[in-house]
Structures are given as structure tokens and as C-alpha cells.
Amino acid sequence: MILKENFLSQLSSSDYHKNKSFEIGLIIVFALITFIGILNHAMWRDELNGWLIARDSYSFIHFFSNIKYEGHPLIWYVCLWFLNQITGNPLGMQIFHWLIAVTTIAIFILFSPFTKTQKILFTFGYLPLYEYSIISRNYCIGILSIFLFCTCFETRYKSYLPLGFILAIMANTNAYCLLISLALGFILTIEYIFRRYFQYQTNANQYNILFSLTIFLIGIIISVLMLLPPADSTLQGGASQWFFQLDFNRLTQTITRVWRSYILVIIPSDSKPIDLFIFSFFSLALLAFSILILIRKPMALLFYLVGSLEILAFTYAKFLGSQRHYGHLYIIFITALWIGHYYINSTVIITFLKSISYQLSKTISHWTSFASHHKKSFLLIILWLQVIAGIVAFSRDLITPYSSSKVTAEFIKNNELSKHFIVGSEDFTIAPISGYLNQKIYYPEIQEFGSYVLFKNERISVNDDDIINQMTQLIAKENKDILLIMNRTFLGQSSDLKIKFIEKFTQSFIYNEKYYLYLVQSSSKSS
């Protein structure tokens, strides 16, 4: 008997070490692959504009005022502010973001309840491998906070303080994580209020709960205050541009975001109503199947429904977004499965439906059994499609620069063109070049030197004739040649100026971050 127990103990220890070796190995592989990707990645304006605000704001108050125009909460920008006190090289931001991405995936691999296969597939899916690791934005830090919440979920039996702090941080990462934090806070509230019904007990006293709730609410208030744009903001229509009318086309566009979030290899076109109509049904089917999977986990299902509906409502009313935005629908699904693991199966919902209609409950029970039987296959299909999309996006970024800003800045440096008076338009597409050059550029849209771009009423659109007029005045005033950087072919002409094409850089995934360089001199200047 003793020999048997010793054998089982050794076997268990062996399995534990094998599992830990697998987890650490997977984290290392992810870290190495994404490190290669992030060093190769050419940052675009949405990445570098925040860095430039942190770099070139002349005080913290000025910095705080500037980020109000960004349309995001505080945390990411505060991190950039502190990073800029250490280095002015934007590579520092990329390394910092990479560390966040690796930490996020490490938490998922070490603490999530998924199988080894599911962990591998999720890790190398589109969002973790590419969108939330290679592109340096505030979204990864939001996912980190979500996974931290899931990891610390059981602490609510003793204290709500850890979850309160995490939710406050989550709310201040981006608007989508603000909505997710509200959904998570909601299920904690419902669970506590109906704790007798759900047979849930916690040792947290009233002071603990009140303090935790206060921290969470303060986090929500700070986030909302930062998200409210200044009166002169024009970013995404500022505070005024909301869509509350009933529009079938926009409704189908919104619903298809579920498909676009879960299934990334076949994307319906927003400009084709028939595609939108068909894929809306597919999206609703995905939602229905996910609900059936979670129906025996009422709290996880409640979070899934509230979180998904919040994101979809925001998508319809404010911003249709891109994959980094509506990708949070997929994250909500993964989070719901993770949270569901903490609960035993419950027949509460089926019993409630039975009290309404026996036939309805019988039908739901049948489809619930079907969904439960095919749950692993359903999840594997989604995860594999995410991996395919991740490999495609990651490989594309290695071959085609995400933006031509990096190679353009390198060309300017290598050919000593930065000694000229640099003019760049359209300003927000030129901002990443300012970041790589580590110097300000004259923007015709604001008629002064700048680096970051604030979308406010003071900015004016300019055409080629406007740029010609400003360059004529600048050459007369500064008595310097001008290096003109355009994100399109420049067609302006003037008898007072000699405009010589130098080079173009058109290999870019971002369509309007392709650049054309021109040397502009006074026509009276000898060759």
C-alpha cells in the first residue's frame, strides 16, 4: 500500500513537472516569436501619436490636457509619460508593450482552465499573436487586466478588494474594457445580492465590500471623465456624433461584428447588403450556440450576455470599429468560459423556463445537450480559425511594412535630409515620421511645427495650392530649402518654386501612410 502511494506521488510529481515545462516552453516560444515581430514592425500613427504626446508635452498638465483629445482613458498614456522620462526612443514603447503582451499570455497559460491544445491555439491566435502584441496600443493592457480578474476571481470568497482594484484599472485602459468592467462588476453585484439563491458565501464584511465598490466606482468615474471629449474635439465626431436612429444596414453591420470577431478568415463586406444579411444570421447562430454552452453556468452566461450587448450597442451607436475593437467580443466569450469554470453546473435557467413552458424547456434542454456535446469541437474550430488569421497577419507584417513611416525616416536620416526645413502633410499621417526622426515637422494644417496631432477645430484641411502658398512664405522667411513629405503625389506648381521629386515609399499596409519626398527650393536659387 505504501509502495503504491509512493508510486502515485512520483507519477503526480512527474506530470506536474511536465505540465510546468510545457507552460514555460509555450511562454518562451510566444515571447521569442513576438519579439521578432515587434522589432520588425513599422509603427503607424495610432501607435506613435500617444508616444509623441508624452514626448513633446512641455508639462504634465499640458500632457493631461492633450490626451483628452485621444478618446482613451489614462493608464496607457501615463505609462508612456514615465517611459519618456527614461528614453526618447519609441522602441522603448514597443519593448514595454511586448513585456505586457508576454505577461498577459503567461497569465493565461499558467492559470486558465483550458486544455493544452486550447492554450496553444489561443496563444497563437490573431489577437494575442498580432493585434494585441505587435501593435503598441492600450488594448493589451486591458486584456491583461481581464485575465488578472479571471485569475483572482476566487478571492471574492475572502475579500473583494483585489477585484475592485483590477476593475478600476480595467475601466481606465480603453472604452471597450470600461464596458467589460461594468459587466464584470454587475455579475459580482448580482451574485452577492442573490447569494442565498446561488448558495454563495463570502467572508468579506460590509466595510470590505463598500471600500471595494468605492474603488471600482472611482475608476469608472475617472474613465468616463477622460472619455468625454473637449468641446472642440473632432475625433470620431466628438461628443455629439451618436447614432440612435433605426437603420437596418447599420444594424446588420453591427451584428456581423460577432462573426468578424470569432471567425476572421471569411469577412463580409460592409458595402454589400446581401453579405451583411447572410452573415448576420451566422453571427446570431454563433451567439445562440455560445449561450447554450453557458446556459448551465448562470453567472458566466449573464456576463457573456451583458458584455456582448454592451459592445454591440456601443458599436451601433458610436463606432463600427475594426478588429482590435470588436475583437473584445471574442475576448468576452473566452472570459465567460474561464469564469464558468469556477461554477458547478446549474439547472436554474432550465427550471425557470420549465415554469413558463414545459415544451420550451424541453426544446432548450435538447439544444443544450447538443451544444454541450459539440462544445469542444465548436471551440477548436474558432481557435484554429483564429490561428490561421494570426499566422497570415503576422507573416504579412514581416513582408509588408505596416506603415512606410519607418523606412521613410531612415532614408531621410541616411541622406542627411533632416537638415532641411521639413514640411509634411497630411499631418496625422506624417506624425509617425516625426516619431522616428525624433524631431518636429511643420504641418500646413496648423501652420506651425508639431509632432503629435490633436483632432480639434483649429486644424484645417489644406490642398496643394495652400501648401504651395505656405512654402513660398516659409522659404522667403527662413531662407532654407524645404523637404516636403506628402502621403500622396504632390501636384502643386508655382513659378516661384522649384519642386524636385526625390523618392517614394509605397510599401505599406496602411493605405494612406505611403510617402513621397520632394526638395523645394526658390526658383531664383541657382542649381
Reported as a single tens digit per residue, the pLDDT across 339-375 is 999 999 887 877 777 777 777 778 888 888 888 899 9
Backbone φ and ψ of 474, nearest 5°:
-65, -40
Overall average pLDDT of the 326-347 stretch: 95
pLDDT confidence of residue 238: 52
End-to-end CA distance of the chain: 98
Q: Is residue 182 part of a domain?
A: no
pLDDT confidence of residue 199: 80
Overall average pLDDT of the 126-152 stretch: 97
Reported as a single tens digit per residue, the pLDDT across 31-83 is 999 999 999 999 999 999 999 999 999 899 999 999 999 999 999 999 999 99
Residue among 285, 283, 291 at smallest CA distance from 257: 283
Cell numbers found for residue 242 = 451618436
CB 120 within 8 A of CB 27: no
Residue among 170, 112, 123, 168 at smallest CA distance from 144: 170
Q: Is residue 437 part of a domain?
A: yes
Q: Is residue 95 part of a domain?
A: no
pLDDT confidence of residue 265: 83
CB 107 within 8 A of CB 307: no
pLDDT confidence of residue 406: 97
Overall average pLDDT of the 445-459 stretch: 94
**Start-end of H helices in 172-247:** 175-193, 206-227
Find residue 456's DSSP bridge partners: 233
Torsion of CA 271, 277, 282, 286, to 10 degrees: 90
Overall average pLDDT of the 227-237 stretch: 83
pLDDT higher than 90, residue 488? yes
| Continuous segment of H or E residues that includes residue 107 | helix 91-111
Share of the chain above pLDDT 90, in %: 81
Residue carrying C-alpha cell 456535446:
373
pLDDT confidence of residue 287: 97
Q: Is residue 411 part of a domain?
A: yes
Q: Is residue 491 part of a domain?
A: yes
pLDDT confidence of residue 3: 47
* 110/95 Cα distance (integer angstroms): 22
Q: Is residue 505 part of a domain?
A: yes
Residue among 501, 488, 443 at smallest CA distance from 467: 443
Q: If you average pLDDT over every residue of the chain, what do you get?
A: 93
Reported as a single tens digit per residue, the pLDDT across 256-266 is 999 999 998 88
Residue among 241, 224, 229, 240 at smallest CA distance from 66: 229
Least confident of 102-106, 448-452, 492-496: 492-496
pTM of the predicted model over 0.85: yes
Overall average pLDDT of the 243-264 stretch: 94
Reported as a single tens digit per residue, the pLDDT across 102-127 is 999 999 999 999 999 999 999 999 99
Q: Is residue 493 part of a domain?
A: yes
Q: Which residue has the higher pLDDT, 201 or 4?
A: 201
pLDDT higher than 60, residue 11? no
Residue among 425, 420, 512, 520 at smallest CA distance from 464: 425
The domain of 456 spans: 405-522
Backbone φ and ψ of 442, nearest 5°:
-75, 125
Q: Is residue 412 part of a domain?
A: yes
How big is the chain, counted in residues?
527
Count: domains in the chain: 1
* 333/382 Cα distance (integer angstroms): 11
Share of the chain above pLDDT 70, in %: 96
Overall average pLDDT of the 463-484 stretch: 95
| Continuous segment of H or E residues that includes residue 316 | helix 298-317
Reported as a single tens digit per residue, the pLDDT across 309-318 is 999 999 999 9
Reported as a single tens digit per residue, the pLDDT across 388-411 is 999 999 999 999 999 999 999 999
* 33/45 Cα distance (integer angstroms): 24
pLDDT band at 523 (very low <50, low <70, confident <90, very high): confident
Q: Which residue has the higher pLDDT, 267 or 405?
A: 405
